[in-house]
A and B are shown apart, each in its own frame.
Chain A
Amino acid sequence: MTDRTMTEPLTTRRRFLTATAGAALVTVLPVADAQATPEMLASAIREVVGGNVVRTGKVRLEIPPLVENGNTVPLTVNVASPMSEADHVRSIHVFNEKNPQPNVGNFFLGVRSGRAQVSTRIRLADSQRITAIAKMSDGSFWSATADVVVTLAACTEDVI
């Protein structure tokens, strides 16, 4: 049994190193991509809030502080709001800091939602800060952040 010469060292920094389902002949390698810069993040946030003030509070981000795999990170955003006609959350916008681009998702709610709470699963390319901004019916913006540590898996998973 001959040993295969690995073209990549075991500790290569990798991002989304997974097999493309069905495309067994494609070997996907990590290549240093442009990361979201702080300017990109600021600009993405500005697109949502415009020139308005963003206050800290009301928003709660539930995300594991340490994740086993950055490909599938459970995330719940919860905003304290009566969700009444007079006072409700219009939308929740989630941003990241170090993925190739700053947006994660935008979620649009309303008075029929009952609760301002959304759960999903997201990808995190690296340990970083997640930001969630809620836009309220009165035009105000509220935010929260959470820091997440993303550990690498033990063995790199090339498509073989």
Chain B
Amino acid sequence: MPSALINVPPKARRGDIIEIKTLMSHIMETGYRHTEGGDRVPRDIITAFSCLYNGVEVFRADLFPAISANPFFTFTTIAMDSGSFEFHWTGDNGFSETASAPITVE
């Protein structure tokens, strides 16, 4: 049950630069750790994150093992129209999660 925490201002004025924060639950296992027996713990990370604003991609990130567990991103976008943000996370072992948040732009 991976949870995501999203912070999108519910209201904004057209043309404002708004800040979006996202936090996704994920262990981000680096693939560089070993068990006591010497076996490598396999990599299990989120590899890609994207944000769409009314269907248009406004931010995208490639993630590597150097991104901390429970990946956190803060980025900005210009408030254009009312509608919604969609967030996508994909990664190893078929990981795929989506979240969304509405916005009213005056």
Main secondary structure of the interface of A (DSSP, over half): loop
Q: Could you say which residues of chain A place their CB within 8 Å of the CB of B63?
A: 105
Contact of A114 among B61, B74, B76 (CB under 8 A): B76
Main secondary structure of the interface of B (DSSP, over half): strand
Flag if A107 contacts B60 (CB, 8 Å).
Answer: yes
Q: Mark A9-36, 1 if CB is under 8 A from B, else 0.
A: 0000001101011000011111101000
The residues in B between 67 and 99 inclusive whose CB is less than 8 angstroms from any CB of A are 67-69, 71-78, 80
Contact of B76 among A31, A115, A121 (CB under 8 A): A115
Flag if B72 contacts A121 (CB, 8 Å).
Answer: yes
* CB-nearest residue of chain B to A94: B66
The answer to whether A21 and B30 touch (CB under 8 A), given A117-B76, A119-B74, is: no
Q: Could you say which residues of chain B place their CB within 8 Å of the CB of A115?
A: 17, 76
Flag if B76 contacts A120 (CB, 8 Å).
Answer: no
The answer to whether A20 and B74 touch (CB under 8 A), given A105-B67, A115-B17, is: no
Decide yes or no whether A71 CB sits under 8 A from chain B: yes
The answer to whether A20 and B29 touch (CB under 8 A), given A29-B36, A113-B58, is: yes
Flag if B32 contacts A122 (CB, 8 Å).
Answer: no
The answer to whether A120 and B38 touch (CB under 8 A), given A33-B32, A105-B67, A108-B60, is: no
Q: Could you say which residues of chain B place their CB within 8 Å of the CB of A99?
A: 65-66
A103 to B17, CA, bound (A): 29
Contact of B67 among A108, A109, A121 (CB under 8 A): A121
Contact of A120 among B30, B34, B74 (CB under 8 A): B74
Q: Could you say which residues of chain A place their CB within 8 Å of the CB of B80?
A: 112
Flag if B66 contacts A28 (CB, 8 Å).
Answer: no
A15 to B63, CA, bound (A): 19
Q: Could you say which residues of chain B place their CB within 8 Å of the CB of A15?
A: 32-33
Q: Could you say which residues of chain A place their CB within 8 Å of the CB of B35?
A: 26-29
Q: Could you say which residues of chain A place their CB within 8 Å of the CB of B60?
A: 107-108
* CB-nearest residue of chain B to A99: B66
Q: Which residues of B contact A (CB under 8 A)?
A: 17-18, 27, 29-30, 32-36, 38, 41, 53, 56, 58-69, 71-78, 80
The 11 sampled A-B contact pairs (Cβ below 8 Å) are A15-B33, A18-B69, A20-B29, A73-B68, A101-B64, A105-B63, A106-B61, A108-B61, A112-B77, A113-B77, A119-B72
